[in-house]
Amino acid sequence: MEGALLIDKPKGLTSTRVVEEVKRKLRVKKVGHTGTLDPIATGLLILLVGRATRFAQFLINFPKTYEFTLRFGAQTDTYDAQGKITKRYEGELKCEKLRSVLEEFRGEIEQVPPPFSAKKVKGRRAYELARKGKPVELKPVKVKVYSLELLECDEAQKKARLLAELSSGAYVRSLAHDIGQRLGIGAFVEELRRTKVDEISVEEAVSLEEFLSSERPERFLIPVDNLFRIIPEVRLSSFDAGKILKGQSILVRERDYEGLVKIYDNGKFIGIGELRGGVLKPKRLLV
């Protein structure tokens, strides 16, 4: 059994827990996610089953879109509502000021990951140190904020709802924390929902509850190549496909495109390759 599974993750569960539930339901050994969601978060979690797990490396780097609610006036140790409040602020939220400040967070920015994250510090996960009350020193990394839009703002409630498309490696929690610091009134994530991964929408996903209660859960699996929607395809003859399957490169003279491509053998998806200078090189194969 192999393929991809689009799950609408409920609040309160870790991504690892969802993976384990899916393994048990499908009775398979290999299931992996392609980008974790915090327990507080809901929304699109893409899982790969069986041999499809070989393509996780490509999906992890896809941009992701989130809707999230910020609560202003305090900061927490986790940068979200599940953490302990470490500081309170008396300042007021001004929506026009917030709208102006958001401009500073668009494009390429430097961001320090949250202390409670899976980033490694001297070989240990940051959250392991943070839970023990030990100092966590994480270096800033460059990430991209492709879009950042203010959807709603409530000055009286000190809340705002935003929509953001972020590059791989970017944290909504850090973005929230940094916006609060820039405004001088603190902020943390109160609600978080992942709505898209690249061109894949949460509207295509099945709820975890429906999946686990289904008598035929395998019907929710989709072909893994369906996930690579903006990647061009190259269709090969059986002769050329045979070379690719042996790890060899081939000439594809009629294509001047350069970059990742989906490779098909007479209509059957066999893997992801890379085209450079008319030469097609296999990167990851399904068989």
Of 116, 172, 118, nearest in space to 143 by CA: 172
DSSP state of 168: T
Tokens representing 169 are 């490696």
- Answer for the pair 211, 241: CB distance below 8 angstroms, yes or no: no
**Would residue 256 show up in a list of annotated catalytic residues for this protein?**
no
Residue 212's CB is within 10 A of a number of other CB atoms, namely 15
Q: Which residues pair with 194 in a beta bridge?
A: 43, 66
- Answer for the pair 180, 75: CB distance below 8 angstroms, yes or no: yes
Distance CA 259, CA 127 (A): 36
- Angle formed at CA 140 by CA 132 and CA 172, multiple of 5 degrees: 75
Residue 139: exposure state from Cβ atoms within 10 A (0-12, 13-18, ≥19): exposed
Residue 175's CB is within 10 A of a number of other CB atoms, namely 26
Q: What is the CA radius of gyration of the chain?
A: 22
Catalytic residue among 8, 38, 178, 198: 38
Distance CA 268, CA 223 (A): 11
Q: Which residues pair with 233 in a beta bridge?
A: 262
- Indicate which residues carry an active-site annotation: 38
